[in-house]
Amino acid sequence: MNGERRIHDGVRARRRFLAAAMLAPVAAGLSGCAGPAGTITTHGEGRNAPPGGGHGHGGELIEPVPAVGEDWSAVADALGRPGEVKREMLYYTGFPRTDLTVVSEGVTISPALALGSHTAFVRYADGSTLLMGDLVVAEDELQVVSDALHTHGLMQTAIHKHLLAQRPEVWWTHIHGHGSDPAELARGVRAALDRTATPPHDPSATEAGGPLDLDTDGIDRAFGVPGAEVGGIYKSLFARAETVNDGARILPSGVGAISAFNFQPLGKGRAALNGDFAMIAEEVPEVLPRLRSGGIDLVTLHHHGLTDDPRLFFLHIWAVDDAVRIAEALRPALELTNVVPLVQ
């Protein structure tokens, strides 16, 4: 009974958080939703609280440290394109698969919706660098990409799909690396990308986007926080509220522990949704039926990491409907998870 009471108390706390977020003016922007890291939490856990759940870590945890763009110049050279620093600690580089024309359940998938390879680098107080990423590969590329990653000492921590009934067949592989030389990690990623037909340059970096044919205000109201237009889609992002570690390393908010909901306009307010929930084990059996009751399709349930604490499960989802109706169907399931809005 005590365990059930804790779960229900946690659910009520998350609902109070999201209800409070809905009252915040959308005009305040994403930076005003969550405030400084750790100021809005559920379960009584802040970003500086001891890690809860999962298998635990017995040693001293290592903190991430800030880094500016110039600190990542060798990584940019090795990857062959510039990235961007997010939230002062994360160095992010995208590699959209604009070479692929993928159709899922009659929808031609935008690269920004579900075909974006990406890497994230984080520096730590011990002088090391952590690499996490996700590579989108065609089925005939998967094995040679895997070989290139292994040759350069990078791990694959997941191999799965994000889409249903897709043509051609496309796979997603999560990658992980850790070392003292971030450029060497980046060269391993580049070697894997070179085994694919990923374009050498990102055309979306110079393309100007027009207004989205979506009721973005309605989506924002449904979630209670504002999203953002990125590459012709609308994104609403949430990060786990508790501290999440990768082994001995504390992950900055927004690295490896995100619930993301991406809306691709289909005309007349309709959208294709591709996204995922980041959950701990006790949340999984509540979230899945709540999504199905709202008409959301389930695609894949799996781990992204090997040594995360708490242990996270990721659920990839799909829907085609009025965009606001989709967001309204996602909201009750989101309330069952321990998340805060993520500054994009």
Mean pLDDT, residues 130-145: 98
Mean pLDDT, residues 283-294: 98
Is residue 39 pLDDT above 90, yes or no? no
- The pLDDT assigned to 59 comes to 73
Mean pLDDT, residues 127-153: 98
- The pLDDT assigned to 282 comes to 98
Mean pLDDT, residues 68-78: 97
Task: State the SS3 of the chain.
Answer: CHHHHHHHHHHHHHHHHHHHHHHCCHHHCHHHCCCCCCCCCCCCCCCCCCCCCCCCCCCCCECEECCCHHHHHHHHHHHCCCCEEECCCEEEEEEECCCCCCEECCEECCHHHHCEEEEEEEEECCCCEEEEEEEEEECCCHHHHHHHHHHCCCEEEEEECCCCCEECCEEEEEEEEEECCHHHHHHHHHHHHCCCCCCCCCHHHCCCCCCCCCCHHHHHHHHCCCCEEECCEEEEEEEECCCCEECCEECCCCCCCEEEEEEEEEECCEEEEEEEEEECHHHHHHHHHHHHHCCCEEEEEECCCCCEECCCEEEEEEEEEEHHHHHHHHHHHHCCCCEEECCC
Mean pLDDT, residues 97-106: 97
- The pLDDT assigned to 58 comes to 56
- The pLDDT assigned to 33 comes to 34
Residues 143-192: pLDDT tens digits?
999 999 999 999 999 999 999 999 999 999 999 999 999 999 999 999 99
- The pLDDT assigned to 201 comes to 76
Mean pLDDT, residues 254-283: 96
Q: Which of 32-41, 134-143, 254-263 has the lowest mean pLDDT?
A: 32-41
Residue type, 182: P
Is residue 240 pLDDT above 90, yes or no? yes
% of the chain at pLDDT higher than 90: 78
Mean pLDDT, residues 120-148: 98
- The pLDDT assigned to 250 comes to 97
How much is the mean pLDDT over the chain? Answer: 86
- The pLDDT assigned to 236 comes to 97
Mean pLDDT, residues 81-108: 96
Quick one: pLDDT band at residue 203, thresholds 50, 70, 90?
low
Write down the residue that tokens 């980041």 correspond to.
278
